[in-house]
Amino acid sequence: MDIKQKTVNGVIWSAIERFSVQIVQFFVQIIIARLLFPSDYGLISMLAIFMALAQTFTDGGFSNALIQKKDRNETDYSTVFYFNITVGIFLALIFFFSSTLISDFYNIAKLKLVIQVMSINLIILSFQVVQKAILTINIDFKTQAKASLIGVCVGAVVGIVLAYKGYGVWALVFQFTTINIIQTSLFWYFEPWRPKKVFSKQSFKKLFSFGSKILSANLLHTIYLNLYTLVIGKQFSATTLGYYSRADQFAQFPSSNLTGIIWRVSYPIMSSIQDDNQRLKNVYRKYIRLSAFIIFPLMLGLAAMAEPFIIIVLTDKWKGVVPILQILCIYYMFYPLNAINQNLMQVKGRSDMFFKLEIVKKIIGIALLFISLPFGIYYVCLSLIVYAAINLMLNTYFASKLIEFKITDQIKDLLKIFVLSAIMGVAVYSLNYLETNLIIKLLLGVILGVTIYTSIAYLTKMQEMKELLSLIKKS
């Protein structure tokens, strides 16, 4: 199977998994939210940063190290497996015995038992890392889609039944735990690999030299992502944080899901051709262009139609979300591009470059956050756009050095797509001045945006349009 066909199959099944799971979870959350109190969700939210950090440690970057390593063998797989299990148990014990301190910090006694039960998930998740890595190496997202969707559906039933019977926060705890148990079991069922009784120090050192830097970079990113919510909640009102959280949720949904799909498909494919710079450059360039061609108009279109969209979905009381959403849409435009550039660094084995850049970028990001904080929430959001632009320039510059691809050529590739997307965005935004029903306005915006963008792209014979149509036909 050639790279184009692998890309098509990978994108299709990765998209099926991401969006089917997201859609199921979206509707399940609505049902459970109607049965539970906001305080129940609050208890789980309090654990979010701890679980995010712990899950980052559980993987440890070894999954990426396995995918990147061309001469991986059974010893490597087994070494990673036993290491992950050890780390999972270690972190679960820390989480378990820290439950009193965490519950005292929040001054909520019943949080202690919730933490202790949730800690079991760290052990469960550590059992699926190698299986998922092998499936990703084989570009087998169809199997991952089946495991994920079945797990989410079974977990949904458990969560809804327990919520209906009045179990409160435990409905969420057991829903989360059930999903992880089912998914891990299915990964073991579908993927025949089993660990050997071997642990190699040499293999561990080689994988750790790469994976530890990815781990450190991921930890920095996890802390940085949670810092904005923490600081905004402390500095501004709960209402402002609510506006920001909702805006971030809507802006992130298309961008992060597309980024996840692109990352999972592009990383193993580029890793398989890491020694052929010319071929790697062609594939890398194609992924960059196609990502921009899809995500730029999507995010600018959402920004243009933010007001009717928010009022229809959340009602008029959430109108304060609109300007924040419009700003965050620009910020999340850069997400897929940064992901592909970071993929290239990992593919070429430069986890050291990846980690050092992450340190520099996060220092810049945190500085921008605290500089903008006194000026209000809108300036905080605008600082994210500045951070994203700097992030992209740094990632693109250093990634281009690895395959001798001039940064000016990359800018040219993206500039024409951005100009076309901007033209479409301005045309769609003008519909906000129409005196008509909001639903009609939103539908007109979608139709006008798609028509303008695809027509100009087709008439000007843009290469990205041809490639996208080719992929669609091939799928």
Q: What is the pLDDT of residues 432-472, one digit of tens each?
A: 888 888 889 989 999 999 999 989 888 888 877 777 776 66
- Range 386-398 average pLDDT: 86
> What's the pLDDT at 340?
77
CB 355 within 8 A of CB 213: yes
Token code pair at residue 34: 């109607």
Q: What is the DSSP letter of 107?
A: T
202-212 burial, b if ≥16 CB within 10 A, otherwise e?
ebbeebbebbb
Of 116 and 217, the structure prediction assigns the larger pLDDT to 116
CB 329 within 8 A of CB 299: yes
* Residues near 391 by beta carbon (within 8 Å), at least 6 away in sequence: 334, 338, 361, 365
pLDDT at 283 over 60: yes
Could you give the CA distance from residue 475 to residue 8 in angstroms, rounded to a whole number?
Answer: 6
> What's the pLDDT at 337?
79
**What's the pLDDT band for 427 if we cut at 50, 70, 90?**
very high
> What's the pLDDT at 258?
75
In this structure, the dihedral spanned by the alpha carbons of residues 275, 279, 285 and 291, taken in order and rounded to 10 degrees, is -90
Could you give the CA distance from residue 456 to residue 416 in angstroms, rounded to a whole number?
Answer: 11
Q: Length of the chain, please?
A: 475
21: closest CA among 330, 381, 261?
261
Neighbours of 242 (CB within 10 A): 14
* Residues near 325 by beta carbon (within 8 Å), at least 6 away in sequence: 246, 247, 250, 251, 302, 303, 306, 310
322: closest CA among 246, 257, 386?
246
> What's the pLDDT at 190?
92
- Range 416-437 average pLDDT: 90
pLDDT averaged over the chain?
A: 81
CB 127 within 8 A of CB 82: no
Could you give the CA distance from residue 112 to residue 214 in angstroms, rounded to a whole number?
Answer: 32
Token code pair at residue 246: 């909702």
Could you give the CA distance from residue 134 to residue 137 in angstroms, rounded to a whole number?
Answer: 5
pTM of the model: 0.69
For 36, the 3-state DSSP assignment is: coil
CB 475 within 8 A of CB 345: no
Amino acid at 185: S
- Of 71-85, 102-116, 406-420, the range with the highest mean pLDDT is 71-85
pLDDT at 357 over 80: yes
CB 158 within 8 A of CB 180: no
- Range 374-401 average pLDDT: 87
Of 285 and 55, the structure prediction assigns the larger pLDDT to 285
To the nearest whole percent, how much of the chain has pLDDT over 90? 18
> What's the pLDDT at 208?
80
